[in-house]
Chains A and B, each alone.
Chain A
Amino acid sequence: MIRHTYNSTPKNQFVNTILTINNLTKKFGSITAVNNLSFSIEKGNVYGILGPNGSGKSTTLGIVLNVVNRTSGDFHWFDGSGTTHEALKKVGAIIERPNFYPYMTAAKNLELVCKIKGVASDKVHEKLDVVGLLDRKDSKFSTFSLGMKQRLAIASALLNDPEILILDEPTNGLDPQGIHQIREIIKKIASEGTTILLASHLLDEVEKVCTHVVILRKGESLYTGSVDGMNASHGFLTLRSQDMSALKGALEGNKAFGTIKTEGDSLIVYLNEPMDASEVNKMLTDKGIFLSHLVKRKESLEEQFLELTKNK
């Protein structure tokens, strides 16, 4: 499985923390939406917040974006010296669905955002071009399709050339073409070195662009860190041979291999230590076992995610 990573060099040498969350808790009546959550976001990485529906992703983002009041805990943007709303002028965010004034044109809506963020309105043209909406800039927002609305929202979030771009379910409800367009835009932005925080329940989406993940379940953080370090395993092998029982026997004696299980007509073997597929092939050949099929791969994000969420 190929994992795209967009690990860009930070603009300055030392690592900058963009967002720090400490022991954040949010209760809606008796329901705890976010429970004692802590993580931080460093500049230059692409983060994914993963979690099933109702795991507290949007609530967490709502709190740091000043629209939901926290019950306890705290958070701060950048070095924590300014107020949240001042910090948000350096952040670009879209949450859930695009919110604009339907009676205004795309360009006018973006001009309004410029006024709120305190940036010059000459960016409007440039950002509409980035998302491919330049030819529709004088159309009213209400005439846009959902895909176009979502792209306009991204343009709006980019107006201030943000330090961090926060996207909550950016492809929700879009058709395949729309999803593809949004992903291309996100990849492009990520490749330019912008820090991105992407909340989604679509794992392949996160997998395609993220370097780091925060995994939430029922408001609690299950894992925070790099995608690669998510799971200590060294990957697994899928093997097939004429003589399956001999193959199994040859593997069972070796402490380099962990769990061995049969799946269909293949054998799945988890590695206990780093090992190249060719090494395995050579070892088995020496023992007179010839493979008809050998694949080494790491667990997909989906498998790792399911593994993590079922443990609790």
Chain B
Amino acid sequence: MLRLLNIELQKIRHNKAAKVISIVYFVLITFIALIASIEFSFGSVNFRVADQGIFNFPFIWHFNSFMAAILKIFLAIVIVSMMSNEYSYRTLKQNLIDGLSKQEFVISKFLTVVLFAVISTVFLFIVSMILGLSFSDYTEIGIIFSDMEYLLAYFIKLVAFFSFCLFLGVLVKRSAFALGFLIIWFIFEKIVYGLLKWELFKGTNIADNLTQFFPLEAMSNLIKEPFSRLGAVQSAANQLGEGFTKSYDVEWHTILITLVWTALFVYWSYVILKRRDL
């Protein structure tokens, strides 16, 4: 295992573009802290975002993992290119000739993906902890460490998304086209959802029930948007008479769907590689 990870890390470590994008990615995660400094005034009322409770424990776990997950597209570029580069440099062929099996090759890529997700999660934990301890109104241990499942969801979401990128890299072989395919797939899911929701099964929940099985939809369902959970939004809604009854929890069946997709993506990557003549 370590040997495979070691092989893959050496490939990335010396790649300047991959390094720069990874650094940008982690710096951007720390920029979540900048949201705290957003201030604006309505006439005489001074509005400061940090005071709205977004950095309160345990809500901060939800908010930060949602925000940080948006940035995963940066690492996706690194992952897609680390796969497609093996094709364009023809080093995949050379690796196999040198004695790496196709299985080992896929495992080494997947381990790297998991490692990226682990580092991101740990990093997010540290950033959120610092932010929370600085701005949160509640700092009791019990409250700090509640709702930690959002971090788990974040981790699973990253692994699944990166596995999807890996699979696209294997399938399409060219990084630009693979990323393009990712965007097209995203749009495709949305169009299918729209058709189901507003045309075929109008007025029912069937569309939502079906689309939750789509890979990108399942990943995004893992961590639901946190904004409508904010105190200010909630009270505004209450004043308008629109109560929220939405569940923001991380649901186990969403985790299951995402894990199944992850396994499929990795397995399909292997199958494609096995069948293809290089």
Residues of chain A having any CB pair with chain B under 8 Å: 28, 62, 65-69, 83, 85-86, 88-89, 91, 93-95, 97, 99-105, 108, 111-113, 115-118, 156
Which of the residues A69, A89, A97, A101 comes within 8 Å of B99, measured between beta carbons? A89
Q: Given the complex, which residues of B lie within 8 Å of A93, measured CB to CB?
A: 97
B246 interface residue per 8 A CB criterion: no
Which of the residues A68, A100, A112 comes within 8 Å of B10, measured between beta carbons? A112
Q: Across the interface, do B99 and A116 meet the contact criterion of CB distance under 8 Å?
A: yes
Q: Across the interface, do B89 and A67 meet the contact criterion of CB distance under 8 Å?
A: no
| Closest residue on chain A to residue B93 by CB atoms | A67
A-B contact pairs, 29 of them (CB 8 A): A28-B277, A66-B97, A66-B101, A67-B93, A67-B97, A67-B278, A68-B277, A85-B101, A88-B99, A91-B99, A93-B97, A95-B93, A99-B90, A101-B15, A101-B85, A102-B89, A103-B14, A103-B16, A104-B14, A105-B14, A108-B10, A112-B7, A112-B11, A113-B98, A115-B3, A115-B10, A116-B7, A118-B3, A118-B99
Q: Given the complex, which residues of B lie within 8 Å of A104, measured CB to CB?
A: 14
Q: Across the interface, do A117 and B278 meet the contact criterion of CB distance under 8 Å?
A: no
A85, B4: Cα distance in complex, Å: 14
Q: Given the complex, which residues of A lie within 8 Å of B277, measured CB to CB?
A: 28, 62, 67-69
| Closest residue on chain B to residue A64 by CB atoms | B97
Q: Across the interface, do B97 and A95 meet the contact criterion of CB distance under 8 Å?
A: yes
Known contacts A67-B97, A68-B277; is-contact A85 B104 (Cβ 8 Å): yes
Most buried by B among A95, A103, A108: A103
Which of the residues B3, B14, B96 comes within 8 Å of A67, measured between beta carbons? B96
A88, B79: Cα distance in complex, Å: 28
Q: Given the complex, which residues of B lie within 8 Å of A100, measured CB to CB?
A: 89, 91, 94
Residues of chain B having any CB pair with chain A under 8 Å: 3, 6-7, 10-11, 14-16, 85, 89-91, 93-102, 104, 274-275, 277-278
Q: Given the complex, which residues of B lie within 8 Å of A97, measured CB to CB?
A: 90
Known contacts A83-B101, A85-B99; is-contact A99 B93 (Cβ 8 Å): yes
Q: Given the complex, which residues of B lie within 8 Å of A156, measured CB to CB?
A: 98
Known contacts A85-B101, A117-B98; is-contact A101 B93 (Cβ 8 Å): no
A113, B6: Cα distance in complex, Å: 12
Q: Across the interface, do A69 and B10 meet the contact criterion of CB distance under 8 Å?
A: no
Q: Given the complex, which residues of A lie within 8 Å of B278, measured CB to CB?
A: 62, 67-68
Q: Given the complex, which residues of A lie within 8 Å of B11, measured CB to CB?
A: 101, 112
Q: Given the complex, which residues of B lie within 8 Å of A85, measured CB to CB?
A: 96, 99-101, 104
Q: Across the interface, do B3 and A88 meet the contact criterion of CB distance under 8 Å?
A: no
A91, B278: Cα distance in complex, Å: 19
Q: Given the complex, which residues of A lie within 8 Å of B95, measured CB to CB?
A: 116
Which of the residues B6, B91, B93, B102 comes within 8 Å of A115, measured between beta carbons? B6
Q: Given the complex, which residues of B lie within 8 Å of A66, measured CB to CB?
A: 96-97, 101-102
Q: Given the complex, which residues of B lie within 8 Å of A111, measured CB to CB?
A: 10
| Closest residue on chain A to residue B10 by CB atoms | A112
Q: Across the interface, do B100 and A116 meet the contact criterion of CB distance under 8 Å?
A: yes
Q: Across the interface, do B10 and A99 meet the contact criterion of CB distance under 8 Å?
A: no
A27, B162: Cα distance in complex, Å: 35
- Told that A101-B15, A116-B98 touch, could you supply 7 new A-B pairs with CB distance under 8 A? A69-B275, A85-B96, A93-B97, A111-B10, A116-B7, A118-B3, A156-B98
Q: Given the complex, which residues of B lie within 8 Å of A88, measured CB to CB?
A: 96-99
Q: Across the interface, do A65 and B96 meet the contact criterion of CB distance under 8 Å?
A: yes
A116, B11: Cα distance in complex, Å: 12
Closest-CB distance, A75 to chain B (whole angstroms): 15
A124, B277: Cα distance in complex, Å: 30
| Closest residue on chain A to residue B274 by CB atoms | A69
Q: Across the interface, do A115 and B7 meet the contact criterion of CB distance under 8 Å?
A: yes
Q: Given the complex, which residues of B lie within 8 Å of A117, measured CB to CB?
A: 98-99
Closest-CB distance, A38 to chain B (whole angstroms): 21
Most buried by A among B91, B95, B97, B102: B97
| Closest residue on chain B to residue A28 by CB atoms | B277
Q: Given the complex, which residues of A lie within 8 Å of B10, measured CB to CB?
A: 108, 111-112, 115
Q: Given the complex, which residues of A lie within 8 Å of B6, measured CB to CB?
A: 115
A111, B275: Cα distance in complex, Å: 29
A103, B10: Cα distance in complex, Å: 11
Closest-CB distance, B105 to chain A (whole angstroms): 10
Q: Given the complex, which residues of A lie within 8 Å of B102, measured CB to CB?
A: 66
Q: Given the complex, which residues of B lie within 8 Å of A102, measured CB to CB?
A: 89
Most buried by A among B7, B101, B102, B277: B277
Closest-CB distance, A186 to chain B (whole angstroms): 18
| Closest residue on chain A to residue B100 by CB atoms | A116
A87, B70: Cα distance in complex, Å: 45
Q: Given the complex, which residues of B lie within 8 Å of A86, measured CB to CB?
A: 99
A187, B263: Cα distance in complex, Å: 49
Q: Given the complex, which residues of B lie within 8 Å of A69, measured CB to CB?
A: 274-275, 277
Q: Across the interface, do B14 and A101 meet the contact criterion of CB distance under 8 Å?
A: yes
Q: Across the interface, do A99 and B91 meet the contact criterion of CB distance under 8 Å?
A: yes
A112, B97: Cα distance in complex, Å: 13
A156, B274: Cα distance in complex, Å: 25
| Closest residue on chain A to residue B16 by CB atoms | A103
A108, B9: Cα distance in complex, Å: 12
Closest-CB distance, A176 to chain B (whole angstroms): 26
